[in-house]
Structure 1
Amino acid sequence: MMPLFLQKLLRLPRYYLLRIKRLKGDPEYLARGVALGVFMGNLPLVPQTLLLIPITVYFRVSTVAAVIASIIVNNPLTVTFQYYIAWKIGSAILPDKGSMEQLHHLLQVIAEQGLIDGLAAFGRLGFDTLLVLLLGGILMGVPMAVISYFPARKFFCIVRERRLKRHRLDNRT
């Protein structure tokens, strides 16, 4: 018998697919929401959902589709791998900012001199590291958002056609 947490974990993709299928609205509107959610999911920002909601309102895209797509892209199973790739991309563009050696030095400062000195070292390191991650996330997020838009639009068009077909069949009887 499979552990309960593993059963729940394996049901998550189906749950999110059903949530997306049940969204109503224009396929263009929903697909733009998915694309924006994929983009924002690639950014190394902690309050992504809080930032995503006003951005979706501003760009007039589906907030629910954006939030679901952001959760699918940025979740505890993918975040480490995703941030590592963002770090690699960002450090390739900005090689003198936020290197792995700087991170290693920060960990040494914390271990040898204590947390207070480590936090001071992190404050000096923080902007460069965030800049590298942010640039890497943007460079990774833009193509992923563009690529995700087209299948999402096709998916929502298919769902819409099926709904209309079912509605027509229901009205005949």
Structure 2
Amino acid sequence: MEPQRTARYYYLKLLRLKGDPYSLARGVAVGVGVGIIPIVPLQTLIILILAPLLRGNSIAGILAGLLISNPFTLLPQYYLAWKVGKLIYPVEVSWSRVQETLEFAFAGGNSATFGDRLAAFGHLGYEAIAILILGGLILAIPLVLLAYPLSLRLFLTINRKRREKHILS
């Protein structure tokens, strides 16, 4: 599927969710926050743990996470997290090493198992992983602060329109 079609598909699925607008917005905020942190193999699991703890909708969180973190956004997202993380935690680890690991992990051929791909991240070293996660956490803060009020407004509007349509029918 094309990147625009994929994004639109998940966006429309998000719009069709029913439920409490506040819960849906909290789920979106969790999904956006976790989705921007470069921890791809664990994102869904973390969303499924955090969303209920924060009284957010898990499905909204997963869909928002997929909109933020998908095969089309991974490389730019990791690169941005790398750049931001390097500003805070300046150690000498080259981006080319991280890029090689990402290419192996996400396109490493059919012979690479999930364990091989996960182990590739372990070979990056503590510093590189710390830089990526720190950069992702810093990027997550403003995105979550934007995602919650914007998605709450969106879901309140959708809810109001559904009620109006129901009254008219």
Please report the TM-score for the alignment, with normalisation by the length of structure 2. 0.79
Paired residue type of 2:67: I
Which residue does 2:75 correspond to in 1?
Answer: 80
Map Cα deviations across residues 100-135 of structure 1 (whole Å, 9 max, x no partner): 17938x99xxxxxxxxxxxxxx85742111110000
SS of residue paired to 1:24 = coil
Please give the alpha-carbon distance, in whole angstroms, between the structure 1 residues aligned to 2:31 and 2:134.
17
Paired residue type of 1:63: S
1:39–1:141 contact (8 Å) kept in structure 2: yes
SS of residue paired to 1:75 = coil
1:102–1:125 contact (8 Å) kept in structure 2: no
Among residues 8, 19, 24, which one is paired with 1:14 in the alignment? 8
**Higher Cα Rg, which structure:** 1
- Where does the alignment leave 5 or more consecutive residues of structure 1 unmatched? 108-121
CA 1:123–1:32 in 2, change beyond 3 Å: closer, same or farther?
closer
The two structures, once aligned, show a CA RMSD in angstroms of: 2.5
Tell me if 1:26 matches 2:20.
yes
Paired residue type of 2:31: G
Please give the alpha-carbon distance, in whole angstroms, between the structure 2 residues aligned to 1:152 and 1:123.
35
How far does residue 159 in structure 1 lie from its aligned partner after superposition?
Answer: 0.4
Which residue does 1:160 correspond to in 2?
Answer: 159
CA 1:69–1:131 in 2, change beyond 3 Å: closer, same or farther?
same
Tell me if 1:41 matches 2:35.
yes
Once superposed, which parts of structure 1, at least 4 consecutive aligned residues long, lie more than 3 Å away? Answer: 101-104, 122-125
1:27–1:156 contact (8 Å) kept in structure 2: yes
How far does residue 51 in structure 1 lie from its aligned partner after superposition?
Answer: 1.9
Which residue does 1:61 correspond to in 2?
Answer: 56
- Map 1:134-153 → 2, pairs under 5 A: 134-153=133-152
How far does residue 44 in structure 1 lie from its aligned partner after superposition?
Answer: 1.3
Identity between Structure 1 and Structure 2 (%)? 36
1:91–1:99 contact (8 Å) kept in structure 2: no
Please give the alpha-carbon distance, in whole angstroms, between the structure 2 residues aligned to 1:123 and 1:50.
19
